C-alpha cells in the first residue's frame, strides 16, 4: 500500500484517490491514457482533434513511437530498500522534481480556452517544467506570469528574420525562461492528411501566432498594426516563420545571442548528435515531432540509444514521442534519456479538464513513476541504466 | 480415446464428460479458459472484475505474460509407451499429485461469497495444493479447516511489525501450512488504473484483512477491538501492511522465525535468484504478480530460463503468470519450472461456480495436462526438459 | 490467359469459369478457402462444425499451422518456358497426377450425408488419391467401390487387438488400398474444448465406427452382434481403439502383416524420422493432426525442413496441416515435401457441396497449383527446392 | 509552413489547400490513400473493384507488398539547407520531374469512363510519365494524343504472334512512346478468386483489347473484321495474347525490333536481374504484378535490394508494388530504385475523380515527396541511399 511512515514524494496521490472513494467520490478525470484520449476526442472540435492527434502521412511514425516501447521489458530487482525515493533530476544547474517535462505544443487555444495559461498554472502547481512553443496562443510574457517561479524553457521556431529570432530570445530571457529549445525538424510543414482534409491550418486564422503579433520587431516590419490589417500580419508571419536554408554554421548566431543553454530538438541520427556537441550545443532532444513531420521516421525510443552512445554524457539528452505512461518514461530514462517530454498526453488532459485536468494527469503520472521506480528496485533514476531492461525477443 | 485398461490418473475426466453428453448433460461450467473468463466477467461486480482482471498501468505485462507462451512450441515425440503417466512432483519432501498450485490470491470474497473456503475445499477435493494469501477474506485457521489434510502453503505480505509477521508465521505453522511464500514485489501497491478509476481498494472497506483482524499481535496494538472501532483497525492495517525498506539481510529474521521452507516470490532477475540461494532460501517463485505491479515488466515465461540457469537445481523454482492451459503449464515445466501457480484462471472458475467451479477447472486442467504430457511422448515431467520445445522463430 | 495451343493439364479449369460467366453462370461453390469455410459453417450443425473446425486446447496450433506458411515467400523466376507443366509425382511406383492427397478425415457423415462415398467419388473424378480413415462412416469396402480404379491409401488407428489390426489391413489390401498410413499421435484423444463444451463424441453414438462394426474379428469378440446390442459394441470399440503402450519395436508387427508401403503419420522431430527409417518404414507424414492433439505443438511447415534433412531422401516425406491454397502447397513442396494432404479444406467443400463440392475444390486447387508452379518459373515440382523461397525476415 | 521566398517545386500545392480552406473550400478528392480507397470502393462496380483491388490466391502478397515498407524506417538528418530541392531524375536521356511513374494498368474503362485518356491527360498536366498497358481500353494512338508532349512508355504483353508484337512496338514508336516495358510475369493469368467468384474477365467482353482490335496485323489474321464477328476476334485475342514458352534467348527478337530502351518488368531474383543485363536489356522493373500473379511471392520492397546489388548500377532499376505514400516511395528510392510506379493508388483516384482525381493525387503525392525529401535532410534523391534508413528490428 505504500503508506508507510516515510511518505514517498508522489505515490501518496494514489492513496488519496482510494480514500476519496470511501466517501463515494470518483476521480474527476480519466485515470488511464487510453480513456483520457477517448474522452478528449469527444470534447474537441474535429479540426482541433485532427490537428493534435494527427501526424504526417499515414501516421506510421505516430504509431511506432508508441509501439516502440514494447520492444523493451523491465526486469525488476528485489529487496533493495525502496522506502524513500528521489525522482529529482538536475539539469543546467536547476534541480527539477522529476525527469518529466510538459513539452512544447503550439496553439493550445484550439484544445482549451485557457490554452497555455492553464498549462503554465498546472506546471507551477506540480513544479513540473514546461517548454513554451513559439507558436503559442498566449504570449511569452503572459505564460511566464501564470507559470510564476516554476522552471520553464522556451522553444524556438527559428524565423528567417534574425532580428525577430533575437527578439523572441530576449523576451524569453526577460521572462525567466531558462533554456532555449531549437526545433530543427519543422523548416517546412509536413504533409498532414487530417489537416489537409479539413483544409485547416490554425495559423492562417491568426491562431497560435500571439508571440509574433506582440513582438516589436515583427510589428515594426508591418505597414499597419495587425489589429488594423490582420491579413497582412498573417502573410508576414508566413514569410518569416522559417528558414529552411539554416545549417550547422548558423548555430553560432544563437550561441552569440543568448546565454541560456541551447538544446537542439529533432536529432535522430548519432552523427547529428555528435555535430551538435561539436557546435557547442548544451543539450539534445531526441524527437521526430510526434510523428508529425516525416512519416516512416524512426521511433524516438529506437533512436535514443544511438544518440545517447554518441553523446556519451557530454550533454543532457532528452526525448519525446509516444510517452503515455510511467512505464514508457522508465524505459526511456533507462536507455539514457535525462528526461522525457510529454506532448499529446497532456493535450488530452487539457482538453478534458483544463488546468485541473493537466494537474490530475501529472500527479497521476508522477505517482505511477515513483511507484514504477520503487517496484523495479530503485530509489533514483541515477541508479537506473540499460541493465534494468531486456530487449523483447 | 485413452480409455484403455490401465486408466490414466486424470485423463478419464474427459471421458466422463462425453458419457454424460450421451444422457444429454452438458458440462455445468465453461470448458475453455476464454469462455470461463467471459462468463466470469458477466457475474462479477465491476469493482471485483476490475480488481482481479486488471493490472498495473496499461496492462502490457498482463498481456505479455500470456502471449509469451506463444514463443515456444512443443515438439511431440512418438512411439514411447505413454500408457501410464505419473504427474506427481516431489517438493520439500511432500509428493504432490501434479505440478499445479492454486496460487495466492487475496480478497476472494469479492469474487464469490464462499471465498477462500471454497478454494480450500476445491483444493482438497483434487489434492491440489493451495497457497493462502495473507490478504485473504477468511482466516488462516478457517481455511486450514476447510482444506483438511490437503497440502497448503502460506503466502506472507511481510508486515513492518515483525511481531505481527512472527504471529502470522506461527499461526500458519499451527494450522498445518507447510511452506512460506514471501512476496517481494508488493511493498507498495502499484498504479492500477481500473481500481483507481473506481476508487476501489477493498482493504479500506475491511475486506481481505481477516488475518489481521483476527491476529492477537495486531489486536494488541489497537486501542479498541476492531469490532468497536473498525476505522482505526483499517488505519493500523495500512500502517503495518508493508515495509519497503526490507533488504536481503532481513531474510535472516524469517529464517530464524520458522522451520518451514521459505520461497521468495517475485524473483525475475538471475542475480536475485542466486542471492536468494546465498541467503539460504529454499525456493523461488518467478512472478511479476500477474502484471499487477510493474507494467512493462518482463513476462514470467521469458524470465524463467534465466532464473532456472542461475539456480542450477539448488532449490525448486516455481512460476506463475499467464497460465491459462495445460499447454502453457507444459512449456513452463519444460523450461525448468518445478511447478506452476494459477491465479486469475481459478478466480474465473470461483466466480462462475464457487467450489464446484474450481473443482471442474482443476479436473479439466489436470486431464488436459495428463493428455498433453502423454501426447508429447512423456510419462512424467521428470522426463521433460527444454529439448521438448523449440523457440518460435 | 494461359489458353495457348498446348493446353496445360489443370489451368484450363479457370478459363471454363470465365467462359461460363459470359453465359451469366457463376461458380456454384465458393472459390476462396475463406469463403468456403464461412459457407460451410452456415450449413453444418454446431456439433459437426466444432468437431471439424476445432482443435486441442486453445487452438494455438490450429492457427500456427496456417500462419506458418507466411514465414516463407516465393521468389518467382522469369523467362523459363513454362508452356507445358507436369505436376505428376511418383510415389511407391505409382504416378499420381499431382502432389495433393485427400488426407484421412474420420466420421465424414457428420459433414455430409454422402460422407466418404462422396469423397471417394470426387477423388476418382479428379484422380487425386485419397486416404481413408479407420474411423470412417463408410466401410473400407464401400469406399473402395466408390473410388474405383483411383489410387487410395488406408489410414490405420492401430487397435490394441492385433487381430483386429491385421483384419483391417487385410481388408484394405483386398480392397485395393495401396499404402498404409499409421497414425502415431492419437493413442489418446486430446482435450478438445469445442467437443467437450457440447459433450459431443460421435463414436459414442456409433458414428464413425463402420469399419469396426463390419469387421469379422471385431464382431467375433462381441457376445451379441452390434445390431442387437449396439452399446456393447461401442464399449468394445472404446476398449480396442488404441494401444498407448506401442513403441518402435512394435512396428515389426505391421511390417510382418502387410506388403503395402507403411508411412508413419505424426512425425515432427528429426530423430523420430531417422528412427522410422531405421525401423524399415517406407514414408513419413509430418503432421500434428491438424492441431487437434497437442495444443502448442510446432506448426508442420516449421517441422518439415528438419524432418526432410533427417530423412535425406531415403523415403518420401508428406505433410499436412494448414494447407489452404496452392501457395501453401508450393511452399511445403519447395521445402522438401513429396506431397501434401488436405484436411479441413475439403471438409468445407464436402459440407457445402458433397461430391461436386469436393470436385470443384480440387479442380480449382489443381488449376491454382499449376498456375503457381508455372508463374514461379517451373514446369515440374521436381525442379522446385528451397532455393525457390526466401525466409520472411 | 515552407512558404519561403524560394518556392519549392511541389510543396506549395499544400499551401494552396490551406488557403482555399480559408474560403471555406475543402479538397474535392480524398487526401489520404486510405480514404481514397474507401471512396473508390463505393463508386466502382463489384466486378471492377474485385478486378482492381484483388490479387492472386488469398492475397498475401497484395498485403505484404504494402506491409513490407514498415520494415524500414527513415532517419532524418538536420541542418542541411533544404531550401531548394530538385526531385528530377534522368532516365534514358530524358529528365523527368520526379521519380514517380503512372504504372501500366490495363482496362481502365472499368474504373472510369474516360479510362486511359483521363490518365494520359493527368500525366500530361503533371508531366509525370505514364506507362500504357497493352491491355488498355484506349488505343496506343489515342492515348498518345491525349498525353501530348509528356513522356510515355509502352508496356508489352508479348503476344505469341511475333508479327503482332512487332506491330505493337512500331505503333508505340510512331506515337512517341519512349521505352518498352516487357511484362514477364503474366504468360498465364493467375488464379484470382475475386474475379473467379464473379466469373468476370473483362477481355472476354471485348474490354481492354482496343490495341488488338485496332491493329492491322491482328485484323489481318481474322476472317471477318471484329466489328462483324466480335466473338472470333476475342477468341483470336485469347489465342495470341501470350507465349509462355518464351525464354531469355527470345529477347533478341525485341532487341532487333526496336531501338527504344527495353525494360524487363517482373524481375524479383538477383540472378534474373544479372541475366537481363547479360542479354542487353536497358532496365529492370522489380515487380510482382501487384500481388496479382503468384500469391505468397516476395514483397517487392524486400526483393529490391538484392536486385539493386546484382545490377550494381549497370542499368536503371524501377519498382512497383504497395506504394501508397511518399514515405513508401522514399524508402524504395533509398534502397536503390531509380523510380517507382504507381498502380492501384491512381486507379482509386481515377475511379473517384477521373482526370482531375489523378491530378489531385499526383500533386499531393509530389508535394508529400518533396516535403519528405526535405524534412529527411536531402535536396535530391541523388543524395539518398540506404544510409537514410534503418531496418526495423
Answer yes or no: do A188 and D1 touch at CB < 8 A. Answer: yes
Give the confidence band of A393 by pLDDT, cuts at 50, 70, 90.
Answer: confident
Looking at residue B393, its pLDDT comes to 76
Instruction: Name the stretches of chain C with pLDDT < 50.
Output: 1-7
Low-confidence stretches of chain B (pLDDT < 70) are 1-9
Rounded CA-CA distance A322/A290 in Å is 7
Interface membership of D377 toward C (CB under 8 Å) = no
CB contact under 8 A, A272 and D77: yes
For residue B205, what is the DSSP state? Answer: G
Do the Cβ atoms of B79 and C250 come within 8 Å?
A: yes
Q: From residue B248, give the alpha-carbon distance in Å to each of A77, A382, A388, B280.
A: 11, 22, 19, 11
Cell 501410464 belongs to B84
Question: Whole-model pTM?
Answer: 0.97
Q: For position C5, what pLDDT does the model report?
A: 37
Q: What is the pLDDT of residue A382?
A: 97
DSSP D265-297: EEE-SHHHHHHHHHTT--EEEE--GGGTSSTTB
**Residues of chain C contacting D71 with CB distance shorter than 8 Å:** 393
SS3 A352: helix
Average pLDDT, chain A: 96
Give the per-residue pLDDT at D233.
98
Which of A254, A289, A300 lies closest to A67, judged by CA?
A300
Q: Is B13 on the interface with C (CB under 8 A)?
A: no
Mutation target vs D (from A196, A198, A209, A263; most D CBs, 10 A cutoff): A196
> Can C289 be counted among the known catalytic residues?
yes
Strand spans (E) along A205-310: 262-267, 283-286
Contacts of C158-161 with CB under 8 Å at 24 or more apart are: C158/C182, C158/C183, C158/C242, C158/C243, C158/C246, C158/C254, C159/C240, C159/C241, C159/C242, C159/C243, C160/B4, C160/C239, C160/C240, C160/C241, C160/C242, C160/C243, C161/C217, C161/C218, C161/C221, C161/C240
Distance from CA of A151 to the nearest CA of B (A): 27
Q: Of A22, A72, A326, which has the smallest distance from its Cβ to B191's Cβ?
A: A326
All cell numbers assigned to D27: 479538397
Instruction: Please report, for residues A324, A350, A356, C48, the alpha-carbon distance to residue A36 in angstroms, rounded to integers and kept in the order given.
Output: 10, 10, 13, 46
Q: With pLDDT > 90 as the criterion, what percentage of chain A qualifies?
A: 97
Task: Let me know: does B135 contact B209? Beta carbons within 8 Å.
Answer: yes
Chains that touch C (3 or more CB pairs under 8 A): B, D
pLDDT of A290-318, one tens digit each?
A: 999 999 999 999 999 999 999 999 999 99
Q: Which residues of D touch A198 (CB under 8 A)?
A: 21, 26
Query: Residue A54: pLDDT above 80?
Result: yes
Mean per-residue pLDDT, A84-93: 96
pLDDT at C292: 98
Closest Cα in chain C, distance from residue B23 (Å): 10
Chains that touch B (3 or more CB pairs under 8 A): A, C
Q: What is the ipTM of this complex?
A: 0.97
Whether residue B391 lies within 8 A of chain C, CB to CB, comes out as no
Chain A contact for D10, CB < 8 A? no
> Cβ of B246 and A376 within 8 Å?
no
pLDDT of residue D47: 98
Q: Nearest Cα to C272, choosing from B377, B391, B370, B369?
A: B377
Q: Is B328 on the interface with C (CB under 8 A)?
A: yes
Judging contacts by C-beta atoms under 8 Å, the chain D residues touching residue C30 are 197
**Sign of torsion over alpha carbons D22, D24, D27, D31:** positive
Pairing of strands B389-391, B72-74: antiparallel
Distance CA(B266)–CA(D29), nearest Å, equals: 57
Q: What share of chain D is helix, strand, coil (3-state, %, to 5)?
A: 50, 15, 40
Comparing CB atoms, the residue among C21, C34, C73 nearest residue D296 is C73
Any CB–CB contact under 8 A between A175 and chain D?
no
**pLDDT tens digits, A246-256:** 999 999 999 99
Q: Is C189 in Cβ contact with B1 (below 8 Å)?
A: yes
pLDDT tens track, chain D, 393 positions = 444 334 446 998 999 999 999 999 999 999 999 999 999 999 999 999 999 999 999 999 999 999 999 999 999 999 999 999 999 999 999 999 999 999 999 999 999 999 999 999 999 999 999 999 999 999 999 999 999 999 999 999 999 999 999 999 999 999 999 999 999 999 999 999 999 999 999 999 999 999 999 999 999 999 999 999 999 999 999 999 999 999 999 999 999 999 999 999 999 999 999 999 999 999 999 999 999 999 999 999 999 999 999 999 999 999 999 999 999 999 999 999 999 999 999 999 999 999 999 999 999 999 999 999 999 999 999 999 999 999 997
Summarize pLDDT for C48-65 with one digit per residue, the tens.
Answer: 999 999 999 999 999 999
Residue pair D362/D6 in contact (Cβ under 8 Å)? The answer is no
* Residues written for chain D: 393
Can you say whether the dihedral through the CA atoms of C221, C223, C225, C230 is positive or negative?
Answer: negative
Task: Assess C198–B contact: CB distance below 8 Å, yes or no.
Answer: yes
Q: Is there contact between D and B if contact means ≥3 C-beta pairs under 8 Å? A: no
Are A345 and A324 in contact, with CB atoms under 8 Å apart?
yes
pLDDT of residue A285: 98
* B325 closest CB neighbour out of C57, C189, C203: C57
Residue with cell 503468384: D294
Q: Which residues of D touch C26 (CB under 8 A)?
A: 197-199
The grid coordinates of residue C21 equal 460467366
pLDDT score for C393: 76
Amino acid at each position: 500500500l505504500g503508506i508507510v511512515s516515510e511518505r514517498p514524494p508522489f505515490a501518496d496521490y494514489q492513496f488519496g484517490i482510494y480514500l476519496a472513494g470511501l466517501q463515494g467520490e470518483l476521480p474527476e478525470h480519466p485515470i488511464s491514457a487510453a480513456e483520457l484520449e477517448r474522452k478528449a476526442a469527444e470534447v474537441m472540435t474535429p479540426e482541433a482533434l485532427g490537428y493534435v492527434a494527427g501526424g504526417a502521412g499515414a501516421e506510421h511514425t505516430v504509431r511506432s513511437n508508441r509501439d516502440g516501447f514494447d520492444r523493451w521489458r523491465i526486469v525488476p530487482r528485489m529487496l533493495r530498500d525502496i522506502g524513500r525515493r528521489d525522482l529529482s533530476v538536475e539539469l543546467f544547474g536547476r534541480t527539477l522534481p522529476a525527469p518529466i517535462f510538459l513539452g512544447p505544443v503550439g496553439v493550445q487555444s484550439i484544445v482549451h480556452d485557457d490554452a497555455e495559461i492553464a498549462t503554465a498554472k498546472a506546471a507551477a502547481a506540480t513544479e513540473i517544467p514546461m517548454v513554451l512553443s513559439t507558436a503559442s496562443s498566449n504570449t511569452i510574457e503572459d505564460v511566464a506570469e501564470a507559470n510564476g517561479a516554476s522552471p520553464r524553457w522556451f522553444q524556438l521556431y527559428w524565423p528567417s528574420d534574425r532580428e525577430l529570432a533575437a527578439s523572441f530570445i530576449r523576451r524569453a530571457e526577460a521572462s525567466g525562461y531558462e533554456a532555449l529549445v531549437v526545433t530543427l525538424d519543422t523548416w517546412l510543414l509536413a504533409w498532414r492528411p487530417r489537416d489537409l482534409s479539413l483544409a485547416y491550418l490554425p495559423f492562417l486564422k491568426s491562431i497560435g501566432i500571439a508571440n509574433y503579433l506582440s513582438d516589436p520587431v515583427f510589428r515594426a516590419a508591418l505597414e499597419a498594426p495587425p489589429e488594423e490589417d490582420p491579413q497582412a500580419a498573417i502573410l508576414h508571419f508566413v514569410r518569416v516563420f522559417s528558414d529552411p536554408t539554416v545549417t550547422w554554421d548558423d548555430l553560432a548566431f544563437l550561441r552569440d545571442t543568448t546565454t541560456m543553454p541551447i538544446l537542439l530538438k529533432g536529432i535522430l541520427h548519432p552523427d547529428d548528435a555528435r555535430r551538435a556537441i561539436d557546435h557547442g550545443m548544451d543539450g539534445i532532444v531526441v524527437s521526430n515531432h510526434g510523428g508529425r513531420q516525416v512519416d516512416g521516421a524512426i521511433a524516438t525510443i529506437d533512436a535514443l540509444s544511438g544518440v545517447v552512445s554518441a553523446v556519451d554524457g557530454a550533454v543532457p539528452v532528452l526525448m519525446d514521442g509516444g510517452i503515455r505512461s510511467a512505464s514508457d518514461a522508465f524505459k526511456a530514462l533507462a536507455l539514457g534519456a535525462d528526461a522525457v517530454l510529454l506532448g499529446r498526453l497532456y493535450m488530452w488532459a487539457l482538453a478534458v479538464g483544463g488546468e485541473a485536468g493537466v494537474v490530475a494527469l501529472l500527479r497521476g503520472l508522477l505517482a505511477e513513476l515513483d511507484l514504477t521506480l520503487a517496484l523495479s528496485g530503485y530509489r533514483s533514476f541515477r541508479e537506473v541504466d540499460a541493465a534494468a531492461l531486456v530487449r523483447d525477443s
